[in-house]
Amino acid sequence: MRTVNGPRALPRDLAAWACIGTALMAIALLLVTYRNRFDYAFELIDIPSVHVAVGLVLAGLVFLALPRLIARAADAGTRELQTLLAVVIGVGLALRLAMLAVNPVLEDDYHRYLWDGAVTAHGLDPYAVAPGDAGHEEGTPRGRLAAEAGVVMDRINHPDLRTIYPPVAQAAFALAHLIEPWSITAWRIVCLIGDAATLALLLALLRAAGRSPLWSALYWWNPVVVKELINSAHMEAILMPLVLGALLLAVHRRPLAASGVLGLAVGAKLWPIMLAPIVLRPLFDDRARLSASLVLLGGLCVLWAVLPLRSGIDETSGLLAYAQRWQTNSALFPALQWIAATIMAPFAPAEHLPGMLVRGATAGLVLALALRLSITPWRDAEDLITRSGLIVAVVLLLSPAQFPWYLVWVLPFLAFRPSIAMLTLTATMPIYYASFYFHARDTYDVFRIWVVWLVWVPVWALLAREALAWRRSSQPAPGAVHA
């Protein structure tokens, strides 16, 4: 019996795809039934945070059946492939539309986006004043905006800090404000457009790499993506199409354009700069074009840095606060920071110094990896994306803050090299939402010290297993002759 293309295999596979899609939709609709329980009228202790965590973990476990199913169907005939791809796109879109009906679940970052967007859309500097101080500027344009913002102003997290979001992100926030002021729906529309653009670019990259478009389901059906980009409306929806767009231009040997788009990605979030050595690798033997690309990329990065830094670095700087002390949902970083603090204890270091040294060391490690991977030219689209995905995965794994929406950074790359360890984060990252249960009961240390290991121990164990399997497969058999 044929297992992929045969007449009896396809109905079975269609049924399996339908079962997974139905299960994901059922969990999404469960959130819809709870949609009003996430309103600000409820105290945190009354919000069903554990239900959310359990539901998303279950959705992640269902999702983990996809890689094997995609592999079985990857060689399907054209007609069958088109049918399955239509199912993938349709179900993914339905999941996103369902999330539009649910109040943002245990997230409030979008209030900062709405405030920044209003400030930027009115031609004001979003980096100049912390939101908490803007309300005291009565009679000024910023003060009038603060009064107009209403509950948005009251709900901004860390209102004492100036924004950390770079200028390209600010432009996206401003676009949402121009569509409809102070509207989470308008911002979600912008996110949905960015999310759809990511899918389109991912399909183009899969085609360039000669891989089945069905691998896009690892992104488009991922419950973390659906929840974080559409329900919670995180700005990664703006970031990822820029990252993939830069890689697609690099694949098509347009390095100058790729450098420009990569510069725009850095203007949405800083970490894509680590991909520069890989993107620019084809130009290492062409000094003129390499210089032009470096000038373009470097000029954009300088511009993005100057705009926020001209307001100064002080205790109200969100960038400084993030660099010094931001850490969430990480097990590895606090352990490394404790080791650094223990080693430095005899020298009585400043409070934030051990953490900043670990941050610097991890950034240096990622940069060293990026440079190491760019020593030899990449061969084709799959090679480029595999190397880039490895860099992004290390950025995520070593980050001091590991919010669920950061998983979105690496998911498009897993369509090319599906690491079960990294995909398992789809099922473990949502444990983060259980932290709100502990927050509400003033026992957050229980989560921070103990429960967080449930997120990461399975992933690191699977990564070790994958590394061991790769090492064994790459070693010659006993008695083999070395070329």
Closest CA to 173 of 93, 97, 241, 239: 239
* Mean pLDDT, all residues of the chain: 92
Predicted confidence at residue 392, as pLDDT, reads 98
**Which of 55-64, 304-313, 403-412 comes out lowest in average pLDDT?**
304-313
| Residues 195-208 pLDDT 10s | 999 999 999 999 99
Q: Which of 318, 227, 304, 229 is nearest to 265 (CA)?
A: 304
pLDDT, residue 11, reads 52
How many Cβ atoms from other residues are within 10 Å of residue 74's Cβ? 15
Contact (Cβ atoms closer than 8 angstroms) between residue 253 and residue 227: no
Average pLDDT rounded to a whole number, residues 369-384: 96
Q: Specify the pLDDT at position 482.
A: 34
Q: Residue 23: CA atoms inside 13 Å, Cβ hemisphere, count?
A: 20
Interatomic CA distance for residues 86 and 162, integer angstroms = 44
Predicted confidence at residue 73, as pLDDT, reads 87
Give the pLDDT of residue 147.
92
* pLDDT over 90 (residue 136): no
> Which residues have CB under 8 Å from 330's CB, separation 6+?
399, 400, 401, 402, 452, 456
Query: What would the 3-class secondary structure string for 122-166 be?
Result: CCCCCCCCCHHHHCCCCCCHHHHHHHHHCHHHHCCCCCCCCCCCC
Split at pLDDT 50, 70, 90, the class of 470 is confident
How does pLDDT run across 236-259, given as a tens digit for each residue? 999 999 999 999 999 999 999 999
pLDDT of residue 279: 96
Eight-state DSSP code of residue 273: G
Listed residue (405, 462, 417, 342) closest to 195, CA to CA: 405
Question: Which band of pLDDT confidence, cut at 50, 70 and 90, is reported for residue 326?
Answer: confident
Tokens read off for 469: 């399997």
Geometric angle at alpha carbon 290, from 285 and 291, rounded to 5°: 130
Task: Please state the separation of Cα 46 from the chain's center in Å.
Answer: 29
Please tell me the chain's helix, strand, coil percentages from 3-state DSSP, rounded to the nearest 5. 70, 0, 25
Q: What Rg value do the Cα atoms of the chain yield, rounded?
A: 23
pLDDT at 2 over 80: no
**Predicted pLDDT of residue 476:** 46
Nearest to 153 by CA among 176, 122, 124, 130: 130
pTM of the model: 0.93
